[in-house]
C-alpha cells in the first residue's frame, strides 16, 4: 500500500515570500499525484495533478509542482505567495493498476501574513 508524507505541518510566511511544501510518497510502481487545497470555509478542491508527461506541472493561482521519480517526491511551489493563499494543502497519490483510491497526506497549514 502507498503512503504519503508531508513534512511541514505548519508554515507561516509573509506576502511575497517563496513557498515550497514537501510531499514524499512510498510506492514502487507508477503513480498519479495530486495537490488539493482547502481555503477557510470552503470545500477541498484540486490545485494540480500529474499523470504523465512533463514532470513540472502548472496549476491554478500560480502554483506548480515537480515530480521527481528518483526521490519519490512531488513538492509544491509558488514563487510569491499572497494573503489569499492561506489554506490547508494536501498531497495525494494513487497507484495505477490498483484500486485508484487516493491516499492523502496529513496536510500542511499555510498562513500568509499581509
Partner 1 sequence: GAGVSQSPSNKVTEKGKDVELRCDPISGHTALYWYRQSLGQGLEFLIYFQGNSAPDKSGLPSDRFSAERTGGSVSTLTIQRTQQEDSAVYLCASSSWTSGRGETQYFGPGTRLLVL
C-alpha cell read off for 15 = 506576502
> For residues 51 and 83, which CB has a smaller minimum distance to partner 1 in the complex?
51
Q: Are 22 and 75 in contact (CB under 8 A)?
A: yes
Cell of 96: 495505477
Q: How far is the CB of 48 from partner 1 (least distance, A)?
A: 10
Output 99 or 114, the one with its CB closest to partner 1.
Answer: 99
Q: Nearer to partner 1 by C-beta: 43 or 70?
A: 43
Q: Residue 53 CB, nearest distance to partner 1 (Å)?
A: 12
User: Which of 42/114 has CB closer to partner 1?
Assistant: 42
C-alpha cell at 11: 508554515
Least Å from the CB of residue 20 to partner 1: 19
Q: Which of 81, 71, 86 is nearest to 22 (CA)?
A: 71
Binding site for partner 1 (CB under 8 A): 4, 6, 9, 32, 34, 36, 43-46, 49, 51, 90, 92, 94, 96, 99-107
Instruction: Name, in order, each residue with C-beta under 8 angstroms of 25's C-beta and a sequence gap of 6 or more.
Output: 2, 3, 4, 5, 31, 33, 72, 73, 74, 91, 93, 103
Amino acid at each position: 500500500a502507498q503512503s504519503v508524507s508531508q513534512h511541514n505541518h505548519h508554515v507561516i510566511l509573509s506576502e511575497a515570500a517563496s513557498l515550497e511544501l514537501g510531499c514524499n510518497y512510498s510506492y514502487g510502481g507508477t503513480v498519479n499525484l495530486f495537490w488539493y487545497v482547502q481555503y477557510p470555509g470552503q470545500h477541498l478542491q484540486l490545485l494540480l495533478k500529474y499523470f504523465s508527461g512533463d514532470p513540472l506541472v502548472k496549476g491554478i493561482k500560480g502554483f506548480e509542482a515537480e515530480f521527481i521519480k528518483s526521490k519519490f517526491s512531488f513538492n509544491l511551489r509558488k514563487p510569491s505567495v499572497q494573503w489569499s493563499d492561506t489554506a490547508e494543502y494536501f498531497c495525494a497519490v494513487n497507484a495505477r493498476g490498483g484500486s485508484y483510491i487516493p491516499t492523502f497526506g496529513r496536510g500542511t497549514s499555510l498562513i500568509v501574513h499581509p
